[in-house]
Amino acid sequence: MRRIAFAVVSAVIMVLGGSTASAQGKYGADSAECIKYLSYYKEYYKSKNYDSALPNWRKAYSLCPATANQTMLIDGTSLMRRLIVKNASNASYRDALIDSLLTLHKVRAEYYPKYKVTAMNNMGLDMANYYKSDPKKLYEGLKSVIDENKEQTKPSVLLINLNAAIQMYQDSELQADDLINIYQNNMAYLEQAVPADANAKEELEKVKDDMESLFISSKVASCEKIIEVYGPRYEASPDDIALVTNIVKMMSSAENCTDNDLYLNAATSLHKLEPSSQSAYFLYKLNASRGNFDTAIAYLEESLSSTDLDVKTAADYNYEAATYCVKNGKNAKALAFAEKAKELDASYAGKSYYLIGTIWGSTTCGGDEIAKRSPYWVAVDYMNKAKAADPELAEDCNRMISQYRIYFPQTAEAFMYNYTDGQTYTVSCGGMRATTTVRTQK
């Protein structure tokens, strides 16, 4: 038995000695001690005895070159984080531990270039955790990570960097132009990023949305600055949906920033890329506010033709279109929209009849005296229909009827043209047509 035991021990010594000799470069000048403490700390670490692992890890780290073992650096970051938590009340020691933690990331990035991106991103996340109370320090630290990793920067790091920059801007430590450039730079890296899988893609898209929302809510950019920065970008890429969406969101949030060509053009591009009844209606409102009647009505008709529009909303839009057409002197179109509104929703009957009555009451027809006065008969017809459909309109309708009756022809005058009370009469002018009855002043 003693011979067997001796042989085994001798074999282990020979192997260890051989390994040490052949690995002088990897494990440093005192390779045996390096290997010993690497082994010690790992055993404790695996068994989750971190308090015992720490002094042995420190000894290994002091003895072993960085190239000895990448896991030593990774495990070291975990041990440092635990130590930071335990010493949270000791500010100076905690800061020193944080510096040591970040140094481990830098060393890993330097000596293991294949894992540089991961190491730098992990350093950024640790900065976000430990520098959160110091926006400037956090921003500058994360900037160093972003400058190294560029489009490979972890999306959340880019977002946290922007948030820190916004806090600096709010503390008057950063200029508006600088903040806009940071936002553009970080968004550009997000656009260039290539997600590894579906989960990474989902995270990326969420961070894009969050970054846009964060920047927009900061209200850093004046309308003039947005136009200056994004005008050329829109001209270069009017079909970039991410860009035009961002422009519309930012300009909608900025003060007094919707009455300009960039906003209208971006909203138009957005509708072209992602059409819907809502976006068509929005473009109707935009163009209507700018006096672009034909374009506005075209978009409203497009909205009304959408299959995703419910009946109640369609009735609302039709009545709104009717009133818009009246204001712009397009009575025939107004009448058609009003008729459609009450057809879709009976609650619009009274208002639609009333509106149609006012249209006829303001219509000027050519021809003889009877033809010129005939629109008032139609106007009164619709006022009577309006108050029958909606009694709450009775007072207004009666007032309008009294005004219109003044313009009815005299009995003798009607007789001269061979018309008598109660006779059927067809009115046709201004692109409108209606059948009514002859009425004279009594």
- What is the per-residue pLDDT for 7? 32
d(CA 292, CA 279): 17
Contacts for 407 with CB less than 8 Å, ≥ 6 apart: 373, 376
Q: For residue 264, give the amino acid letter.
A: L
The sign of the CA dihedral 138, 143, 148, 153 is positive
- Helices (H) and strands (E) counted in the chain, each on its own, are 22, 2
| Cα(172)–Cα(2) distance, integer angstroms | 79
| CA dist list (Å): 236 to 229, 240, 243, 261 | 12, 9, 11, 15
CA pseudo-torsion sign 58, 61, 62, 64: positive
* pLDDT, one tens digit for every residue, the chain (442 residues): 333 333 323 322 232 333 333 445 789 989 999 999 999 999 999 999 999 999 999 999 999 999 999 999 999 999 999 999 999 999 999 999 999 999 999 999 999 999 999 999 999 999 999 999 999 999 999 999 999 999 999 999 999 999 999 999 999 999 888 998 899 899 889 989 999 999 999 999 999 889 988 888 887 878 888 898 889 989 999 999 888 988 898 888 788 899 999 999 999 999 999 999 999 999 999 999 999 999 999 999 999 999 889 999 999 999 999 999 999 999 999 999 999 999 999 999 999 999 999 999 999 999 999 999 999 999 999 999 999 999 999 999 999 999 999 999 999 999 999 999 999 999 999 899 999 999 998 7
What pLDDT, on the 0 to 100 scale, is given for residue 24?
53
Scan for tokens 């839009």, then name that residue.
317
Q: How far apart are CA 157 and CA 125, in angstroms?
A: 7
* Angstrom distance (rounded) from CA 120 to CA 122: 5
CA angle 325, 327, 329 (to 5 degrees): 70
Q: What is the pTM of this model?
A: 0.64
C-alpha dihedral over 125, 127, 132, 133, to 10 degrees?
Answer: 170
Contact 340, 376 (CB under 8 A): no
Each residue of 116-168: pLDDT tens digit? 999 999 999 999 999 999 999 999 999 999 999 999 999 999 999 999 999 99
Tokens of 363: 């219509």
- Residue 205, token pair as written in the block: 């898209």
